[in-house]
Amino acid sequence: MNFIVLTIFPEMFKPFWEHGIVSRAINQDKISVSAIDIRDFAQGKHRTTDDRPYGGGCGMIMKPEPLAGAIRAAEKKAPLSKRILLTPQGRPFDQRVAEELASSDGLILVCGRYEGVDERICHDFIDDEISIGDYILTGGELAAMVIVDAVTRLIPGVLGGKDSAEKDSFSDSVLEHAHYTRPRVFEDDEVPGVLLSGNHKEIERWRLETSLIRTFLKRRDLLENRPLSSQEIEILKKWCLDIEKIIHDQSLYGPDPLSGGQQEG
């Protein structure tokens, strides 16, 4: 996988290429990365990359010629790459989009600054527009890093068996179960006993149960429109029965007289 980032701040990417899994993936030749300085394709003594908007208004717009020059240079280096503009108007980035991008030959990631890029660039030089979320940044660079990071870890061989992407939260739209490491007791807080039991079947069941329940509590939207396995249905039904039993047993005593008379009865 080949990533080429187009930016007026190529220096921003240096520390990013040099750390963690991204750095390891470069050293293992799983990915290649480069940043092209859009200013190298700008004209004149000042190599200006922005100009005032037609029709007036505040802020500056990225001029089309330097962007077009930079995109053409990137295409020459990597002709099969998909040209992506990072913009708050793009389609929302999520794990599915990351998987889709991971199966492409390469990505040319175009980072805007100021108020955005001249519309004619979007029309003629861009294949896809992506947003990393509903908020405004001062430039597309951080969005490009998010995409490189999320896509890189999906490339086969980048994550070893030890930190594989298969068991990821979101890859099957539930959150991950809780994780614990040593010490067994940390500031009076103990690791759940089942994890020390050595009973792998029970541990798997506990993990599935906590991951389902925390998804229900924290991100109910992820569970909607998702088919449940028979084991998942069984786990959720057991929770329902447990809660119903508490309600049933408590209602035998009648409403709590100290609860302020809010209940019927």
Catalytic center residues? 88, 115, 153, 168
Angle at 33 between CA 30 and CA 37, to 5 degrees: 175
Contacts 24+ apart (CB under 8 A), 16-20: 16/145, 16/148
The least CB distance from residue 29 to ligand 4GT, in Å, is 29
| 3 state SS of 93 | coil
The least CB distance from residue 114 to ligand 4GT, in Å, is 6
Task: Please say which residue, 118 or 209, places its beta carbon nearer to ligand 4GT.
Answer: 118
Task: Please say which residue, 64 or 88, places its beta carbon nearer to ligand 4GT.
Answer: 88
The least CB distance from residue 108 to ligand 4GT, in Å, is 15
Contact residues for ligand 4GT, defined by CB under 6 A: 86-88, 112-114, 116, 131-133, 135-137, 139-140, 143
Task: Please say which residue, 66 or 140, places its beta carbon nearer to ligand 4GT.
Answer: 140
Q: Which residues make beta-bridge pairs with 109?
A: 5, 84
Task: Please say which residue, 108 or 174, places its beta carbon nearer to ligand 4GT.
Answer: 108
Closest residue to ligand 4GT: CB criterion: 112
The least CB distance from residue 218 to ligand 4GT, in Å, is 22
Task: Please say which residue, 13 or 206, places its beta carbon nearer to ligand 4GT.
Answer: 13
- Residues 132 and 126: their CA atoms lie apart, in Å, by 17
Q: Which residues make beta-bridge pairs with 83?
A: 108
The least CB distance from residue 22 to ligand 4GT, in Å, is 19
Which residues have a Cβ under 8 Å from the Cβ of 92 and sit 6 or more positions away?
131, 133
The least CB distance from residue 84 to ligand 4GT, in Å, is 10
Cis peptide before 53 (omega within 30 of 0): no
Task: Give the Cβ contact number of residue 64 at 10 Å.
Answer: 17
Task: Please say which residue, 61 or 74, places its beta carbon nearer to ligand 4GT.
Answer: 61
Token couple for 152? 């890189």
State the alpha helices, DSSP H only, in 38-157.
64-77, 95-102, 119-125, 141-152
| Dihedral sign for Cα atoms in the order 154, 27, 21, 83 | negative
Contacts 24+ apart (CB under 8 A), 119-124: 120/64, 121/62, 121/64, 121/67, 121/68, 121/71, 121/85, 122/85
